[in-house]
Chains A and B, each alone.
Chain A
Amino acid sequence: MKLNTVKHNKPAGRLLSAPFLLWETLFIIVPLAMVFYYGLTDRSGAFTLENVAAILGAEHAKALWLSVCLSFVSTLICFLLAYPLAMILANMNVNQHSFIVLIFILPMWMNFLLRTLAWQTLLEKNGVINNILEFLHIPPLNIINTPAAIILGMVYNFLPFMVLPIYNSLVKVDPNVINAARDLGANELQTFFKITFPLTIPGVISGVTMVFVPALTTFVISKLLGGSKILLIGNVIEEEFTQAGNWHLGSGLSIVLMIFIIFNMVISAVFDKNGEGNML
């Protein structure tokens, strides 16, 4: 730790971090400051808390609640799918697992919008999936433009963000610890719940953050797979900027959303002190 601080004070170190600091200022600090400026002023430029308090209005509160619910369900499903998957990956031999990890990351190289649009084509009434079901004389699947389709979209898009941190913390678990537990008479279930799982909690928490936060703020998935019928908080904010032209209200609502996200980050920071889950 001490070494680190010394290093940082060296002028060369500072110089090297200059591009990053510049980048951070220009593209993170300045935009954030603008969000706060717009969010805390009205059209005449006077200070107001109205835009932030607007979250309590019936439509906004409802949209936020719906967003929280849908992202919670998606995160839960992601977790339930990702943990066993990560365990399978971690138990494979090296050659196999790098291939499987590649398969997992591969779709992420494709554009997020395209992947979501593809789901629209798959799920539509006369879409690919329903054509196949019809061919097999199975009743059609009617989930397009419902919350179920949105959850599906969220799970599909964000699953890798859950798998990778869990996988990362699983491979770091020392096999000797598990062997010791087995030696001392714990059966497989006990070993899992008392040793393996607690050791991977940092990975789980960082996975949860990485799924929950983008799911909470998404507006594309709900627009494309929800047929714009389901208004999430992300959609409300997006429409304030693009359609209603009310940047002040849009920024005010963004501030509220940021509070939610920061809350989530704090929890994950408390659990993930070693930064174990930060593989991505």
Chain B
Amino acid sequence: MKKILSIACLSAALLLPLSGCGNTSSGENGEVIVYNWGEYLDPETLQMFEEETGIRVVYDEYETNEIMYPKVETGATEYDVLCPSDYMIQKLIDNDLLAELNFDNIPNAKANIGSQYWEQSTEFDPENKYSVPYCWGTVGILYNKTMVDGTIDSWSVLWDEKYADNILMQDSVRDAFMVSLKRNGYSMNSTDAGELETAKQDLIDQKPLVQAYVVDQVRDKMIGNEAAIGVIYSGEAIYTQRENPDLEYVIPKEGTNVWIDSWVITKNAPNKENAEKFIDFMCRPDIALKNFEYITYSTPNDAARELIEEDDIRNSPIAFPELSQYSNLETFRYLGEDADQLYNDLWKEVKSN
């Protein structure tokens, strides 16, 4: 008898958490399923959204656009709201995976987000029908003032033998090739076999000097003085400077990537109205400010920027650079399956060399 009892208890214990997944309180007004980058908003804002609207947020995270895409394409999991980058939004639009937004339900978007960001979005969303900008920024060089000499203003410093074993490169195809293509004066959206070959060869030549290829870890390694120079997203730069005042961020003179990550809604979103409410909530100035302060990625929300108290942050050339000062800025475009394949093959050659 005792045995049966303990087996019953055990199976109950095992089954309970499972049954929990099915039908937990889905909020009085339903739910919204959000698929966002890792550490890309202040978790408190999700709570506030739930309290204010009674909509439960199911929140899931991804590390790269490329990991997110197949999940959305196959429809294995139904998501309502995504936050992909520019070129991935274009790919999603091309493959008919996004729903047009009803901006009447998202009044905060048009009211608060600066016109220049809508303008920039037309590169991948020509009529501004599908996306609402959430974060933007540049890619540049983060360097440790105590470990370099001379001025750092060019991608070429990443090929300088002085800094052998002190360089951190981005471990993703497009970002790595962007650096190499820009350094050679080519477009970072190049599909020219010759240009890509040159870029690849340069990356191979650079490899012995590189300490490691990293994605998010560049932040911790630079803070910990592990390397002198690293390629980094501008949003991480402010955070690293707070932790280690020796660090300085620069946009190289050869030009760089200006990127935007935007909220979009999937074509088959089960909760489209809630999704629009969610996006609208994220565009509210106080919420956008809260998120900016938490993740330190530049916000396109002008009203939120006005609310920033510290002058040096509000006018920070890292967070809010005057883009007209720089030349050769570009935004990634989706290059099609064949070009993607070519990039991946070349990158594999670099990595295996």
Contact = CB atoms under 8 A, between A and B. Distances in A.
Interface string B192-231: 0000000000000001001111100000010011100000
A236 B226 contact: no
B66 A244 contact: yes
A243 B212 CA distance: 18
B153 interface: no
B244 to A, nearest CB: 12
B352 A125 contact: no
Contact of B344 (A145, A229, A243): A243
Q: Name the prevailing secondary structure of the A interface residues.
A: loop
Given A59-B348, A145-B212, A228 B171 contact: yes
Nearest to B172: A243
Nearest to A59: B352
A108 B214 CA distance: 27
Most chain-A Cβ atoms within 10 A of its Cβ — which of B212, B214, B221? Answer: B212
B306 to A, nearest CB: 39
A125 B64 CA distance: 28
Interface in B167-207: 171-173, 207
B69 A227 contact: no
Q: Name the prevailing secondary structure of the B interface residues.
A: helix
A245 B352 contact: no
Interface in A212-251: 227-229, 231, 235-236, 239, 242-247
A45 to B, nearest CB: 14
Contact of A231 (B225, B226, B341, B348): B348
B66 A245 contact: yes
A246 B212 contact: no
B79 to A, nearest CB: 17
B351 interface: yes
A235 B66 CA distance: 16
Given A59-B349, A227-B212, A243-B66, A126 B226 contact: yes
A229 B225 CA distance: 20
Nearest to A223: B171
Interface in B61-93: 64, 66-67, 69-70
Interface string A183-215: 000000000000000000000000000000000
3 A-B pairs with the lowest CB-CB distances in the bound complex, closest first: A227-B212, A228-B213, A59-B352
Interface of A: 58-59, 62-63, 124-126, 145, 227-229, 231, 235-236, 239, 242-247
29 contacts: A58-B349, A59-B352, A63-B352, A124-B221, A126-B224, A145-B211, A145-B212, A227-B210, A227-B212, A227-B213, A228-B171, A229-B207, A229-B210, A229-B212, A229-B351, A231-B351, A236-B352, A239-B348, A242-B66, A243-B172, A243-B173, A243-B344, A244-B66, A244-B173, A244-B341, A245-B69, A245-B340, A246-B344, A247-B70
